[in-house]
Chain A
Amino acid sequence: MSGHTPSPRISPDEIRVTAEMARLLLSESDIPKLSDELSAILAYANSLAEVDVTNVPPMTHAVPDHCPLRGDVVEPHIAREAALRNAPQRESAYFAVPAVFAGSDEGFDSEG
């Protein structure tokens, strides 16, 4: 666990921000424990930093493959009724969600 690169610690504030972005509801008492646990995980992963990767091209996927492409063809859809049957809430042909107000922190529309 000891390397040349010091292991970064995940601060309680970072835990709070991350939880909020992931829409996780944490109680204040969970936070110190999570901070310790995540810091330990990060420190473990940080041991990879000891490997010399000079001249090794960065890799984002484990499979040495190219993105397969599909033809531009319309394929069968799900029947709307079948899709809406599992919705927690619906209104006629729409999925219904708690009101998202224009001007709320997410804006009028999504990011696009």
Chain B
Amino acid sequence: MTAADEFEPVIGLEVHIQLSTLSKAFCGAQAAYGGPPNAHIDPYTLGLPGALPVLNHRAVEYAIRMGLACHCDIALRSELSRKHYFYPDLPKGYQISQFDQPICQNGFVEFILGSERRRVRLQRIHLEEDAGKNLHIPGGRTSLIDYNRAGVPLIEVVSLPEITSAEEAGEYLRALRQLVRFLGISDGNMEEGSLRCDANVSIRPRGSTQLGQRTELKNINSFKYVQKAIEHEILRQIDVVQSGGRIIMETRGWDAARGTSRSQRKKEEAHDYRYLPDPDLPPLVIDSLWLESIAATLPATPMQRRDQYLERLGLSPYDASVLTSERELCEFFDRVLLAAGLPPGNTALLDAQRARAKQSANWLSSELLGLLNKDNRTITESPVSADALGELVRYISDGIISGKQGKDVFAKMYESRETPTDIIERLGLRQISDPELITAACRKVVDDPGMQKQVEKYKQNPKLLGFFVGKALAETQGKAKPELVSEIMLRLLSEK
């Protein structure tokens, strides 16, 4: 048992997610990422006197969507509060957020860790507005402020402290990103800051049920560093405790360049945010009919898709993971299945249909995604449409062309964007499965006077069947279905 095994980490994540609305949370300024500095500003964004907040309908809807997808209790009445602190990126001197009455409470997020299904429970999801951006110039005497981001709507997803490894924290965060993308409420782009993560980390002796003193890790701004930063903090805390020290409550900033963290704020300096209900904003009341309509139009979550792929289609967990990694991929796959002739919806499938679904998944995940990855293209940029791929699967499973021919057709589809029907017609690839035509080709071979010597030999050595099948296939320019040729040839030879 190593020293690290004596301790068990306890991790809770606070994740801020920018909602992809057109306008900001409380005013009509543009919410888009980027843009020239200070282009998306208006009197409210700048906190000018007299400017009043009016809440964006869509931001509320998106927060509810997330709450429903995370199985939260949606508060039909919640409160918008002011959180006070002074910082140049916050012109009003307070941020509008939610305090003791958030819009969503409880709930959970599900994801796959290794091969296990894991569930992390949530404490809450609340609505708030983002701050502007500071540019710190190293060694400079001024900092530069861009208010484009100020006021962009955010949800903050707060988990309970029940994540027990850095790896699990990483998977949880990836699941959140995947979920918001499926719900269409955010692009979840960590590099552009539309998804940001703070981690509360503590350790305790393995088996203990008490929580240790926690530290808060901030500034983790890429998926690559989430695991690293948390892993580093766990080891740092173990080190402190083992060398007789004590963990103090503090905020630590992750420094990706140095691969380490440093203290930013101690408990003694902790802030009192003086939360109070915003006098400009009466309670947020959600109409139950509105809530019902949001629930009725909620897109399927990645986990729901996964369950459907595993149970209805009989796909492998690996294929299900690949195909549910992006919403666009799921939608593409669903169209492939339709074009391949499978019934839509949740109707139960026959074994042959499941086989066809499996075949469709293979063509998509290994063939098409393989080429797309190689060419650095996304599924939406695929030269092969979902309809075309489904058609190809259909040709193969109906025995019109062989699997081997399918690969050639597919390569041509990818190159030229032609439909499989056009390629098959143009190249004359249609497999012959008409028994009469095949019998004629086989008869031509066995009746050939030049073949009689081999026919005699066959009677001693049945292994020669392959030779005759090859000849008959050649008669059809390779278009006859080999299994049929073999079957018919066997019959003709036995009659000789």
Contacts and interface: CB of A to CB of B under 8 A. Distances in A.
Contacts of B274: 21
Interface string A93-112: 11111111111111111111
Interface in B8-41: 16, 21-23, 27-30, 36-41
A95 B277 contact: no
B264 interface: yes
Interface string B272-310: 101001010111110000000000000000000000000
Nearest to A70: B54
Contacts of B54: 68-70
Contacts of B30: 74, 77
A111 B142 contact: no
Contact of B41 (A23, A73, A78, A102): A78
Given A98-B141, A99-B141, A108 B56 contact: no
Contacts of B55: 67-70
B41 A70 contact: no
Given A69-B54, A78-B42, A80-B39, A109 B144 contact: no
B135 interface: yes
Contacts of A105: 264-265, 269
Provide the main secondary structure of the chain A interface: loop
9 nearest CB pairs, A to B: A75-B28, A94-B144, A72-B58, A60-B277, A110-B131, A69-B57, A66-B285, A93-B37, A96-B142
Interface of B: 16, 21-23, 27-30, 36-43, 46, 54-60, 79-80, 83-90, 95, 130-131, 133-137, 140-147, 154, 156, 196, 218-219, 251, 253, 262, 264-265, 269, 271-272, 274, 277, 279, 281-285
Given A60-B283, A102-B253, 8 more contacts: A66-B282, A66-B283, A67-B284, A78-B41, A107-B251, A107-B265, A109-B218, A111-B95
17 contacts: A21-B271, A61-B282, A66-B282, A70-B56, A72-B21, A72-B58, A74-B28, A74-B30, A77-B39, A78-B46, A84-B38, A98-B141, A105-B264, A106-B265, A109-B133, A109-B218, A110-B131
